[in-house]
A and B are shown apart, each in its own frame.
Chain A
Amino acid sequence: MTTADRSVAIEARDLTRKFGTFTAVDHITFDVAVGEVFGFLGANGAGKTTAIRILTGLLAPTSGTARVAGHDVYTESEWIKRRIGYMSQKFSLYEDLTVAENIRLYGGIYDLTREQVRERTTRMLERLGLEQAIGTQVRALPLGWRQKLAFSVALLHEPSIVFLDEPTSGVDPITRRQFWELIYEAAARGTTVFVTTHYMDEAEYCDRISIMVSGRIEALGTPAALKERFSVDSIDEMFVRLARPTAGIAT
């Protein structure tokens, strides 16, 4: 870690990204604390994906600064990639590999020793109650299990921050809640969780949330404080009020 402040997992100051004349991310400033569950909300096309690509070291910003797990997004993006985990609804595991093969593959990518992989695999599958599925192809697992497994695999190298992009889309309501309990568990162990979702009730599971509108962060705080400030009963209502889409163009 090169940063002085070890209690801050993500630190963004005036972070901006332009594509030609279009400003996808427009001077966003926020901190995420270590061990926090941070909900990153916004309408489609508000700039969330661009911001996440910057914070995961995949895209350089145009201006502004950001440090992720103590590393600079301009100069240390390779370090960032080692220190974070990532899971999305669209892609998480290789469906034609078995559970064990997927875990070995990830372990290899993150330079874990064979010993570490073996030990962590056992622990993970035990925790998920998936021991008997170790030789099963991932495509044969129910969606809910795949998502829980993908989350655990994203944590295999014990990253300090995990980015979850719509992790629970389409999952049944019980599995969705079990998934959130895995998130809580990880956060309680000190992992920082940065999550996007279209389920507004899930926003209330987060410690704090931000709402992005047209590239800017228009609201930031605990769900309870935001509801009070906007005098609304639910995050859904607040979201609708803030996030009226002004353009129909994807970013």
Chain B
Amino acid sequence: MPGPSASSVVIERLGKKFDATVALDDINIEIANGELFGFIGPDGAGKTTLFRILVTLILPDAGRAVVLGGDVSAAIWQLRRRVGYMPGRFSLYPDLSVEENLRFFASVFGASVEEQHDLIAPIYDQLAPFRDRRAGALSGGMKQKLALCCALVHRPEILFLDEPTTGVDAVSRREFWELLDRLKATGLTIVVSTPYMDEADRCGRVALIQRGRILGVDTPTRIAASFGRPLFTVHAAERYPLLLAARQYEYAATVFPFGDTLHYTDRRDRVAPDEIARGLREYLGQRGFADADVKQASPTIEDTFMARMGEPERAA
């Protein structure tokens, strides 16, 4: 176990309920100084509740969390000066200009925009052409960049970003991650959450989170590799009929649409992958998919996530 000085965040047996709803259940995670750490999971997984606890906005019911050496339930006022937080919902003043928002957030923390220029320059430069525009009139991607600037303007030691890329198009998302890479290079610890599985690869380590529980913590590569059984992609021109047919195969364990292919796993443990692929191809041929292409493939984080989340949410 690393000592306290090597960890920015230590979460032990953390729990939180809202009435009868369990938002967080027995969370245990340690995040090292300088890490870019991601919480990956859908809406309702508990990401926002966890972030609010870590930035001292709400109190946990069970367990504890230590951020920068201070307990989030006790060291509230000291911590608030030292953490940066970008909430998931756009929380700047829409009627103030880009410049005014930034100056306001700096002044709240007794900082000035000029002092912090080196830290925010790479981001602020992209916003500079819109300096006098009302924040409410910016595009989604630009709003996110401004919110990031405002979260950084008091030079925090750790940055919490709650779903900074949700609802933002693929290009802006990519640019945003490039900015985070630059910030990480300055030594800043960054904790970020996202519902987009493909963004996991941008993090050093990730925690998969679903319905208040952690499904796994590791590097993206190791999480993907932990899938633990042969995975196959299946491709044919008639996709939907192919999906239905593959599901009816007697040895099928899981069949999911995945981009322009299906991802298939087999029930049998002792059959060689080549054998599985050949059998499936033959079966699909008989079902009229002469063009069915079956290949063994490397699992992605999303495959692992789906395997570990088990049963999807049930209705009441």
CB of B174 within 8 A of CB of A170, answer: no
Which one of A76-84, A127-135, A156-164 is at the B interface? Answer: A127-135
Q: Which 7 A-B pairs have the closest CB atoms?
A: A170-B43, A172-B42, A142-B313, A204-B259, A184-B240, A248-B142, A44-B140
Q: Given A44-B172, A143-B313, A245-B169, 19 more contacts at CB 8 Å?
A: A45-B140, A141-B315, A142-B315, A143-B42, A143-B43, A166-B167, A171-B43, A172-B42, A175-B312, A181-B243, A181-B257, A184-B239, A198-B169, A199-B196, A204-B260, A234-B259, A239-B169, A249-B130, A249-B139
Please give, as numbers and ranges, the residues of chain A lying within 8 Å of B257 by CB-CB distance. Answer: 177, 180-181, 205
Contact status A44-B316, CB under 8 Å: no
Given A143-B43, A144-B313, A172-B312, also A198-B141 (CB < 8 A): no
A45, A174, A178, A236 — which one has the most chain B CB atoms within 10 A of its CB?
A: A174
Complex Cα distance A169/B163, Å? 12
B312 adjacent to A178 (CB under 8 Å): yes
CB-defined interface of A176-218 with B at 8 Å, one 1/0 digit per residue? 0110110011011000000000111100110000000000000
Asked if residues A198 and B43 are in contact (CB atoms below 8 Å), the reply is no
Which residues does chain B contribute within 8 Å of A247, judged by CB atoms?
A: 139
Give A234 to B166 CA distance when docked, in angstroms: 20
Q: Which of A201-251 contact B (CB under 8 A)?
A: 201, 204-205, 223-224, 234, 236, 239-240, 243-245, 247-250
6 contacts between A and B (CB under 8 A): A136-B315, A170-B43, A188-B240, A205-B257, A224-B260, A239-B171
Chain B: interface size category: 35 or more
Q: Given A43-B171, A172-B42, A248-B141, decide whether A223 and B260 contact each other with a Cβ distance below 8 A.
A: yes
Chain A nearest Cβ from B171, distance in angstroms: 5
- Give the chain B neighbours of A248 by CB distance below 8 A: 127, 129-130, 133, 138-139, 141-142
Contacts of B195 in A (CB 8 A): 169-171
Report if A173 contacts B (CB, 8 A).
Answer: yes
Residues of B within 8 A of A178 (CB): 312
Contact with A along B179-217 (1 / 0, CB 8 A): 000000000000000011110000000000010000000
CA of A171 to CA of B197 in the docked complex: distance in angstroms? 11
Q: Which residue of B lies closest to A185 (CB)?
A: B240
A250→B315 contact, CB < 8 A: no
Interface residue? B121 (CB, 8 A): no
Shortest C-beta distance, B183 to chain A (Å), equals 20
A177, A185, A250: which contacts B140 (Cβ < 8 A)?
A250
B interface with A by C-beta (< 8 Å): 41-45, 127, 129-130, 133, 137-142, 166-174, 195-198, 210, 239-240, 243, 256-260, 302, 305-306, 309, 312-316
Residues of B within 8 A of A44 (CB): 139-141, 168-169, 172
Q: Which of A130, A177, A224, A244 has the most CB of B within 10 A?
A: A177
SS class of chain B's interface: helix, strand, loop or mixed?
A: mixed
Decide yes or no: A243 and B43 within 8 Å by CB, A44-B139, A173-B306, A201-B198 being known contacts.
no
Take A181-B243, A249-B138 as given contacts and tell me if A132 and B315 are in contact as well, using a CB distance cutoff of 8 Å. Answer: yes
Cα A240 to Cα B168 in complex, Å, equals: 13
Contact B243 A184 (CB under 8 A): yes
Is A129 a contact partner of B315 (Cβ separation < 8 A)? yes
- Residues in B neighbouring A106, C-beta threshold 8 A: none
Contacts A129-B315, A142-B313, A239-B171 hold; do A249 and B43 have CB atoms under 8 A apart?
no
Is the CB–CB distance between A250 and B196 below 8 Å?
Answer: no
Of the candidates A132, A166, A188, A240, the one having the most CB atoms from chain B within 10 angstroms of its own CB is A240
Determine if A243 and B305 form an interchain contact, defined as CB atoms under 8 angstroms apart: no
Contact across chains for A130 and B210 when beta carbons are under 8 A apart: no
What A residues does B171 contact at CB under 8 A? 43, 239-240, 243-245
Residue of A nearest to B310 (CB): A174
Residue A145 at the B interface, CB < 8 A? yes
Contacting residues, chain A, for B256 (C-beta < 8 A): 174, 177
Give which listed residue, A129, A181, A201, A244, contacts B259 with CB less than 8 A: A201
Which residues from chain B contact A173 at a C-beta distance below 8 Å? 42, 197, 302, 305-306, 309
